[in-house]
Structure 1
């Protein structure tokens, strides 16, 4: 056998060995990839939204309409339990005040407004990341002193002489809604004061500084026996949609989206409807 033939056979054996080695490397690579997938699956968790989402941590700042205080506080506690290592901070105030703060550069992750008009202030300024989505609706109700001593039974009754009535300022959603309701009933009302958010209007009645206030149904629900609620048909003409959005400059964008997912989940709807909100 010539030397060239022996070299050819040795080369063939070498090629076969290399082929086997390559196959082995591919198999190991596949195993490594599979193992990496498992590790990745460990890095995600499911929330009450029913969705699988990446783990989040760190502080989350939520600017929310005053009427969301009770329901969002409860959801914030749920969020922190579902995502250990997170810390949710809320700023509850009139939606217009919050929108002005956001457009002025106040650091926040999420904005939940009591009206589409107020949310538009933020989106028009380019401060929202993507289109907002409506997560709840709210309707007006009259809050009276406990037991309703003035026997108020309609929106028209609020126009009676000598009755001390408080409204939200028309620049905030609850005030704009009250104006719509009064216009729908062909009524004119001069309140003893205009308040900057719905909680301030309700507090006037709780402290017996006013006989009645036009607030949201959810606020009457949250006040318990501190007030008595009176429904009125004109409120159907002044229902407010509540939109929510992640902010463009959110310091913690992943956590912001996770909080929004919770608000829009089945658990979020349960908490919100339990507080008196309507589904969108």
Structure 2
């Protein structure tokens, strides 16, 4: 380990340790936080990560005696704020380009791959329409529920997936609900108003929906790339860089990654996650 008096060397060491937990440099376990008892770490993330972040944060707090002040909201809005005058210690955002913009603007010191989302079909209990694949959304009589006006990337991502699968126009003709909220889509499917919709697997793990619908896999070749990637990085304005770096290392450790897997994400350190890291170039520059 570099000498504690060499701040730059220490940061580089901790950064390498965090990346190693993602399988970039090899295996590593979670770090103890370099923070004083009761110290506050300001963490911002895409709201879609909240169900995984909250228990991970609680565990990190319990292990290290610090407080994680967490904000989960629309990633693009948070990113815009951080590109301006807003400050945070750690940011976990959606879409790789956002992390790159923060790095290029000097607002983020470094980032690591955190997890990837995945898309599935949802049907009412028992799958009464017999949906087996995304191509079935084009069959006559199938009642499709979409949410084209949902907050990005929700609605747009589903449309992009259907287009990539070659069934967008037929699915649109079969659409019985064009909504503006992904969670309302789930309610429409639960009520039987529709036969099928395209959602992120994470949505099916939310407490109000878990175990209540049928989930049908979608071939990953149809997934639209931009919304898949979530990264986590240490911000340039972090008050305690060592604490922020230890927190990031925890999130990308096996213990931290388990929270994301339980919520339907593909952990970055998993075999599939490592493949996606390489496929989409989810690496700091």
- Counterpart of 2:218? 232
CA drift at 1:171: 7.4
CA contact (8 A) 1:144 1:228 kept: yes
Once the two structures are superposed, residues 39-98 of structure 1 have per-residue CA deviations (whole angstroms, 9 ceiling, x without a partner) of xxxxxxxxx9343552344222222223312211110110110111x2223222332232
Query: Relative to structure 1, is the Cα distance of residues 139 and 244 closer, same or farther in structure 2, using a 3 angstrom cutoff?
Result: same
- Counterpart of 2:83? 103
1:81 aligns with 2:62: yes
Which of 240, 252, 255 is the equivalent residue of 1:267?
255
Query: Relative to structure 1, is the Cα distance of residues 165 and 252 closer, same or farther in structure 2, using a 3 angstrom cutoff?
Result: farther
Once the two structures are superposed, residues 236-278 of structure 1 have per-residue CA deviations (whole angstroms, 9 ceiling, x without a partner) of 5436222111112234434322221110112112222233322
Task: Supply the RMSD in Å over aligned alpha carbons.
Answer: 3.1
- Counterpart of 1:140? 119
Residue ranges of structure 1 left out of the alignment (5+ in a row):
1-47
CA contact (8 A) 2:121 2:197 kept: yes
2:56 is paired with a residue whose SS is helix
- In the alignment, the residues of structure 2 paired with residue 106 and residue 149 of structure 1 have an alpha-carbon distance, to the nearest angstrom, of 49
Query: How many residues are paired up?
Result: 227
CA drift at 1:174: 4.4
Once the two structures are superposed, residues 116-167 of structure 1 have per-residue CA deviations (whole angstroms, 9 ceiling, x without a partner) of 133334334332122x211222211123334434443322333556735234
Query: Relative to structure 1, is the Cα distance of residues 157 and 167 closer, same or farther in structure 2, using a 3 angstrom cutoff?
Result: farther
Structure 2 length normalisation: TM-score? 0.66
- Counterpart of 1:217? 201
- In the alignment, the residues of structure 1 paired with residue 73 and residue 197 of structure 2 have an alpha-carbon distance, to the nearest angstrom, of 18
CA contact (8 A) 2:119 2:223 kept: no
Q: How does 1:35-46 map to 2 (within 5 A)?
A: none
**Runs of 4+ off more than 6 Å:** none
- In the alignment, the residues of structure 2 paired with residue 50 and residue 110 of structure 1 have an alpha-carbon distance, to the nearest angstrom, of 16
Query: Relative to structure 1, is the Cα distance of residues 77 and 52 closer, same or farther in structure 2, using a 3 angstrom cutoff?
Result: closer
Which of 129, 136, 148 is the equivalent residue of 1:157?
136
CA contact (8 A) 1:165 1:193 kept: yes
Where relative contact order (Cα < 8 A, 6+ residues apart) is larger, the structure is 2
Query: Relative to structure 1, is the Cα distance of residues 252 and 168 closer, same or farther in structure 2, using a 3 angstrom cutoff?
Result: farther
Structure 1 length normalisation: TM-score? 0.67
- In the alignment, the residues of structure 1 paired with residue 148 and residue 74 of structure 2 have an alpha-carbon distance, to the nearest angstrom, of 10
- Counterpart of 2:278? none
1:61 is paired with a residue whose SS is strand
CA contact (8 A) 1:170 1:179 kept: no
1:181 aligns with 2:196: no
Structure number having the greater helix percentage: 1
Greater C-alpha radius of gyration:
1
CA drift at 1:203: 4.1
Query: Relative to structure 1, is the Cα distance of residues 203 and 51 closer, same or farther in structure 2, using a 3 angstrom cutoff?
Result: same
2:264 is paired with a residue whose SS is coil
